[in-house]
Structure formats: C-alpha cells, structure tokens
Amino acid sequence: MTPDEVLRAIPQQAPFRFIDRILEVDSEHIVGSYTFRHDEFFYRGHFPGDPVTPGAILIETMAQTGVVALGIYLAAQTLPAGELSHWVTLFTECEMEFHLPVAPGERVTLRGEKVFFRRMKLKSRVELLLADGRVAAEGTLAGVGVKRGS
C-alpha cells in the first residue's frame, strides 16, 4: 500500500482523526504528521485561556500513526485481497512519558517503529516531536486487529 492508501484506510474521522499525512511507511516504521488546529473541540475546556493538548489526545495521535496506520500497512501484506476493510484495530497497551506541552496550532511529527507484529497484534515504539524537533512524548503502544462482527 502507498502512504495515501493507508491514510484513506484509517477508520477514525473528524473530529477524532489526528493524522494529516503519512510521510514514510514500510514494514519496520512509519512517519506521519498532524497539525493541532486552534478550534479543536478539546481546547475549549483544557484549559480556558491557556489551552494545551490533553495527554489522552497525544496518545491517540501517536496510536493512530504508530499502531493503526502501521498496522493497516502490515495487515495488508498478510490478509487476502479485499479483507482489510473487515478489520478494526483495538487499543491494548500503553506506556508513555510526556516531556513538553503541545499548544494549539502546533504541527507535530509522529514516528512509530515496529517492536513486533504477530497474529494481528502490533506493538510499536512511538514518539511525538514538536516542529523544532524536540520530543514532546514517547513510549510504547500496542493494538490488535479484530475482525468486525467477531
């Protein structure tokens, strides 16, 4: 699959889609990006007058790139043609460290590196970098592909 095909296959949609572009993807890693718009729904309450991106949203952003998108790419290599659309990724594990806040308007780069992929479970080492290259968050995330209706 091409990066654009992977991006189109991601099931999350606005207002809960936190990946704009896939810059690189192969069987070992993925690089994506997202710009946090000033009008994102969560900024109104987190925190009024001085908003920052919630940690849970940062985890979701990293998961959409490092687990969902990379998982789609890897699953497409193993599933029969036409089967990919019948699968969804469920989040299973998280170990995360936060280093810097992410402000509204910030463009972030997301990097995921496969730790393992077997039996439709993907574990990835992920990081979220600010536009200046500093690491805002990093850790390990995992998810498992589940056939819809199972």
| Number of C-beta neighbours around residue 61 at 10 A | 23
- Considering the candidates 29, 46, 86, 99, report the single residue annotated as catalytic: 46
d(CA 43, CA 52): 7
CA neighbor of 54 nearest in space, from 111, 104, 13: 104
Annotated catalytic residue 99: no
Q: Which residues are catalytically annotated?
A: 46
